[in-house]
Chains A and B, each alone.
Chain A
Amino acid sequence: MRARINTLAHVAAFMTVLGGLGWLLMRGSDSLNYPWHWERIPDFIYTWDEQGFTPGPLLEGLWVTIKISAVSLLLAFVFGLVTALLRLSDSFVGRFLARVYLETIRNTPLLTQILVMYFLFAPLLGLDAVTSGVLALSLFEGAYGSEIIRAGIVSIDKGQWEAAHSLGLSTSQTYRKIVLPQALRRVLPPLASLAVTLVKDSALVSAIAVAELSKQGAIIVARYWLTFETWFTVAALYLCLTIPLSLLALMLERRIKVRS
């Protein structure tokens, strides 16, 4: 009974805060004297006529964002794993290189990295905008991913290494069969959070004219002056990607807690 009242109180508090925010937003837009034209937005998402279903620029942008994010996520995982293993390796050169990569990426803005990749490295390597965007994004998130994976690896009990070694397993066999399966399971929730960050960070790739969601939004705003409607819609579309990912992270966290 007590818990029930408590829950109700929390819901009431939440609704009050939400209502307050909504009111502030309304007041803000009132004082702006902003001419809302929400009715024009659906056409930018999709059209449905005699020719059937046609995705609008926003949906097309969303699809590009999904593709960029998916490939970057995969690459970021590879970069992260390799960097984590190098940082924990016996090789001085390997540890040094991993450290330089990590510190460079973590201490400079992503936007700068994307621009450097596109304007300095891409011409040398013959990369197009999408590829250099994906590469910059995955190098960036991979640096953060490596720290997560490294934390997972060092959290595995020393006894696991010793048992594996005493059975004659090599270091790489021990990583593959014993340490990584346990470590990655442990860090899945923070890795899923990193995926959410990656989806949002992918918006910065618009700076090198990749026609992803944010770029399409910017084009619409520039052409039709529907600033707020467009950006709110873009935000909602990002939420469609990030909320499921966040829920996945939450679910993974719960499942792991139950197991241990």
Chain B
Amino acid sequence: MPDKDSCATNPRTGDVIVEAQGLTKVFANGVKALDDFSLTVCQGEVVVVIGPSGSGKSTFLRCLNGLEEIDAGRIVIDGVELNHSKKNRRAIRTEVGMVFQSFNLFPHMTVLGNINLAQELVRGKTRGDATDTTMALLDKVGMAERADSYPAQLSGGQQQRVAIARALAMHPKVMLFDEATSALDPEVIGEVLGVMADLAREGMTMIVVTHEMGFAREAGDRVVFMEHGAMVEQGPVEPFFDAPAHERTQTFLQQIV
């Protein structure tokens, strides 16, 4: 388990940036989605979270930027604690980008409008500055020609690439990917995973919930296996996949490969 020392001593990573301690979340229907779950992530690290459905992976991501409220535990992101302070929560949300399974683009705005919006409203950029950033990012995700399209005119893969660009436009310190390719047709999954792998290579800190083990192997630094809202096992990618320690992990990996 990485801590302040191991983050600093690892040549590939920087200081601790995400600290989640003892997270517990019980839904209104009594389901315990998170059960004393802890995770520390270093700057520049790509952590892939896997586990069966209902294991609390998505809930964990959603707690990290305050979309779900935790019942117990502590979340600190880049030195800011996520608590009842609205100011802190907004600060964290501004620094943490999130990509959703269902894209969640704003359907009444063009691609350009979608990506400019928060830059202008939250970062206070001028329209021109925001557009410059937007066009550079669209170029990066291969969508520059579609700046004036509406989301409904785009394929799922294209929408998701725009959604990634929208999150990146805030220059986030951490990116959260919540099953970003699960709603996509098989033939377009690759284009989205490609964009994500590029980001990982550029040193973006990423926490990725996914079922794509190929991506985990290629782009991940560390894999976390969750079940029933708790961590079963975690470790660097190679040993994790080649020789998982836990019996439950072995069965899970056999089932999905």
- Asked if B100 contacts A168 (CB within 8 A), the reply is no
A193 within 8 A of partner (CB): no
- Asked if B121 contacts A173 (CB within 8 A), the reply is yes
Q: Kindly report which residue of chain A lies nearest to residue B105, judged by CB atoms.
A: A163
- Asked if A185 contacts B96 (CB within 8 A), the reply is no
Interface string of A134-177 (1 = CB under 8 A from B): 00000000000000000000000101101111111110010001
* A162, B61: Cα distance in complex, Å: 12
B44 within 8 A of partner (CB): no
* A185, B109: Cα distance in complex, Å: 13
Taking CB atoms, residues of chain B closer than 8 Å to A162 are 62, 67, 98, 100, 104
- Asked if A160 contacts B90 (CB within 8 A), the reply is no
B108 within 8 A of partner (CB): yes
Q: Which of B61-120 contact A (CB under 8 A)?
A: 62, 65-67, 90, 93-94, 96-98, 100, 102, 104-108, 117-118
Q: A167-B118, A167-B166 are in contact. Are A182 and B67 (CB under 8 A)?
A: no
- Asked if A165 contacts B67 (CB within 8 A), the reply is yes
- Please report the number of residue pairs spanning A and B whose Cβ atoms sit closer than 8 angstroms: 58
* A159, B99: Cα distance in complex, Å: 11
Count contacts on B: residues with CB < 8 A to the other chain.
Answer: 25
Interface string of B134-164 (1 = CB under 8 A from A): 0000000000000000000000000000010
A181 within 8 A of partner (CB): yes
User: Per a CB cutoff under 8 Å, which of B105, B107, B122 touches A169?
Assistant: B122
Q: Kindly report which residue of chain A lies nearest to residue B68, judged by CB atoms.
A: A162
* A143, B100: Cα distance in complex, Å: 37
Taking CB atoms, residues of chain A closer than 8 Å to B23 are none
Taking CB atoms, residues of chain A closer than 8 Å to B170 are 167-168
* A160, B151: Cα distance in complex, Å: 13
Q: A169-B121, A169-B122 are in contact. Are A163 and B90 (CB under 8 A)?
A: no
Q: Kindly report which residue of chain A lies nearest to residue B98, judged by CB atoms.
A: A166
Taking CB atoms, residues of chain B closer than 8 Å to A166 are 65, 67, 93, 96-98, 167
Q: A165-B67, A169-B118, A177-B121 are in contact. Are A182 and B97 (CB under 8 A)?
A: no
Taking CB atoms, residues of chain A closer than 8 Å to B121 are 169, 173, 177
- Asked if B67 contacts A167 (CB within 8 A), the reply is no
Q: A160-B104, A163-B104 are in contact. Are A168 and B117 (CB under 8 A)?
A: no
A178 within 8 A of partner (CB): yes
Taking CB atoms, residues of chain A closer than 8 Å to B62 are 162
* A165, B66: Cα distance in complex, Å: 9
- Asked if B108 contacts A185 (CB within 8 A), the reply is yes
- Asked if B100 contacts A159 (CB within 8 A), the reply is yes
Interface string of B184-196 (1 = CB under 8 A from A): 0000000000000
Interface string of B46-66 (1 = CB under 8 A from A): 000000000000000010011
* A159, B118: Cα distance in complex, Å: 16
Taking CB atoms, residues of chain A closer than 8 Å to B96 are 166
Taking CB atoms, residues of chain A closer than 8 Å to B163 are 163
- Asked if B106 contacts A178 (CB within 8 A), the reply is yes
**Minimum C-beta distance from A249 to chain B (A):** 21
Highest count of chain A CB atoms <10 Å: which of B105, B117, B121, B163? B121
Other than the given A165-B66, A169-B121, 14 more pairs (CB < 8 A) read A160-B104, A162-B62, A163-B100, A163-B105, A163-B106, A165-B67, A167-B93, A167-B170, A168-B90, A169-B117, A169-B122, A173-B121, A173-B122, A181-B108
Interface residues of B (CB under 8 A from A): 62, 65-67, 90, 93-94, 96-98, 100, 102, 104-108, 117-118, 121-122, 163, 166-167, 170
Interface residues of A (CB under 8 A from B): 157, 159-160, 162-170, 173, 177-178, 181-182, 185
A-B contact pairs, 23 of them (CB 8 A): A159-B104, A162-B67, A162-B98, A162-B104, A163-B100, A163-B105, A163-B163, A164-B106, A166-B93, A166-B96, A166-B97, A166-B167, A167-B117, A167-B167, A167-B170, A168-B93, A168-B94, A168-B118, A169-B117, A169-B118, A173-B121, A177-B117, A182-B107
Closest 10 CB pairs of A and B: A168-B94, A163-B104, A167-B118, A159-B104, A166-B98, A168-B122, A168-B93, A181-B108, A159-B102, A162-B67
